Amino acid sequence: MACGPPASSPPPSRTSWGSDVATAERSASLDQLLASKEIVICCGSGGVGKTTVAAALATMAAVHLGGKVLVITVDPARRLANALGLEEFGNVETQVPCERFTAAGAGTRGELWAAMLDTKQSWDDLVRAHAPDPTTRDAILANPLYANITGRFVQSHDYIAMERLYEIHQSGRYDLIVVDTPPTRNALDFLEAPERMADFFSSRLLRWLTAPARSRLVTMASRPFYTIADRILGSQFLEDIAEFFLLFQTMYRGFVERSTAVTRTLTDKRTTFVVVSTLEPAPVREAEFFVDALGQRKCHLGAIVVNKVLPDWFTTPGASTAASRLVDDAAHVAATLPKNVGSRDQVARVLQEVGESFLNFRLVAKREAEQRTELAARADALAAVPYADHDITDLPGLLELGSHLWREP
């Protein structure tokens, strides 16, 4: 059920300097993009605001484009999770209540749903779906290595995030799914995860590892790998590994087919990627690397979102001349002001501080403008979100951020 009348216009921009960030350089736009895709994957390096951008995109799509929109987040800040109505951790998909939209002054055409990714539970579901029989299922779920692999180790997050995306998409319950990707060591890990998983299950190594357990005719000691592995790890551990893989192999076919399908989804026409970055040098480098990698894999790059951008009036030429004057000539400038502003010395010091601060920020703003030009050349659409001095903790905040991503109401 959609809630309330459709919004007539986006909420007014509240950040005082927000509306000053130019957005004219987009040729395509995110509203077009989101209207034409079923899956949007937000990626980028840590700390750039991926989760918030993903949530804002989903919110804008629900409000302005309508339909059933789901945002899957990986590890949202507590207050953002609350804003989305995600009170507890788990795979449950929850609808953001209509009242929140009404309270935020925005009716919505569609529905906004949110879910968090619970790695452990997702793995358990997967095992339940693919295990050939209840005995094997229970043996896998009880295996100590299984708990370790699924809970503790990072790559399993990557795989399961993509797997879950695939499953939800297949279910056809949503018109649009926006995904926030897990913080990976390497931004590409999650793209490669399904393929790696398939490789792993088809590998000779796996057959090799599980051979001794299947055939007692072949003793472990007769193989050089085991001789060495045994000395390194101890035979009990090795047997645990063998048992684990033997059990897992019963799910071989299901897993490989599934991984292949997940990989296909990532390159499907209906899927697009949004690269999120700040304009700091390191995230920009990573964003560029990511754009290249998407191209190599024939994945669709829909847009680049640059977040936490300083307002561009910092680079207004006349202003920096004035700021330099304040720094170099504070005493003289102070002398021209009426006495009731403050003592000459104090006014001069304030003017100098003000000027220096401006020039510092101007340097950063110029550097950012340069990075932004470079990024803009790499995607059809680029949207800039201004630096906000507060974190986004509610629906109005997401709508405000979203208004910078949207071209037309």
Residues in the chain: 409
Rounded to a whole number of angstroms, the minimum distance from the CB of residue 147 to other proteins is 9
What is d(CA 227, CA 212) in angstroms, rounded to the nearest whole number? 13
Q: Which is nearer to other proteins, 99 or 370 (CB)?
A: 370
Q: Which is nearer to other proteins, 103 or 205 (CB)?
A: 205
Residue pointed to by tokens 């304040």: 326
Q: Which is nearer to other proteins, 27 or 186 (CB)?
A: 186
Q: Which is nearer to other proteins, 201 or 406 (CB)?
A: 201
What is d(CA 371, CA 278) in angstroms, rounded to the nearest whole number? 9
Rounded to a whole number of angstroms, the minimum distance from the CB of residue 117 to other proteins is 13
The DSSP annotation for 133-164 comes to SHHHHHHHHH-HHHHHHHHH-HHHHHHHHHHH
User: Residue type at 113?
Assistant: W
**Interacting residues of 62 by C-beta distance below 8 A, sequence separation 6+:** 69, 108, 109, 110, 111, 112
What is d(CA 401, CA 305) in angstroms, rounded to the nearest whole number? 11
Q: What H or E segment, with its residue span, contains residue 66?
A: none
Q: Which is nearer to other proteins, 132 or 144 (CB)?
A: 144
Q: Which is nearer to other proteins, 168 or 284 (CB)?
A: 284
Rounded to a whole number of angstroms, the minimum distance from the CB of residue 193 to other proteins is 10
What is d(CA 402, CA 119) in angstroms, rounded to the nearest whole number? 28
What is d(CA 407, CA 53) in angstroms, rounded to the nearest whole number? 15
Any long-range contacts for 202-207 (C-beta under 8 Å, 24+ apart)?
A: 202/252, 202/256, 206/245, 206/249, 207/249
Rounded to a whole number of angstroms, the minimum distance from the CB of residue 64 to other proteins is 27
User: Residue type at 140?
Assistant: I
What is d(CA 194, CA 167) in angstroms, rounded to the nearest whole number? 13
Q: Which is nearer to other proteins, 97 or 281 (CB)?
A: 281
Q: What H or E segment, with its residue span, contains residue 179?
A: strand 176-180
Q: Are 299 and 262 in contact (CB under 8 A)?
A: no
The neighbouring-strand residues paired with 40 are 178, 272
SS3 state at 96: coil
**Interacting residues of 353 by C-beta distance below 8 A, sequence separation 6+:** none
Q: Which is nearer to other proteins, 269 or 339 (CB)?
A: 339
Rounded to a whole number of angstroms, the minimum distance from the CB of residue 207 to other proteins is 12
Rounded to a whole number of angstroms, the minimum distance from the CB of residue 17 to other proteins is 7
Rounded to a whole number of angstroms, the minimum distance from the CB of residue 205 to other proteins is 5
Q: Which is nearer to other proteins, 221 or 228 (CB)?
A: 228
Rounded to a whole number of angstroms, the minimum distance from the CB of residue 284 to other proteins is 11
Rounded to a whole number of angstroms, the minimum distance from the CB of residue 154 to other proteins is 6
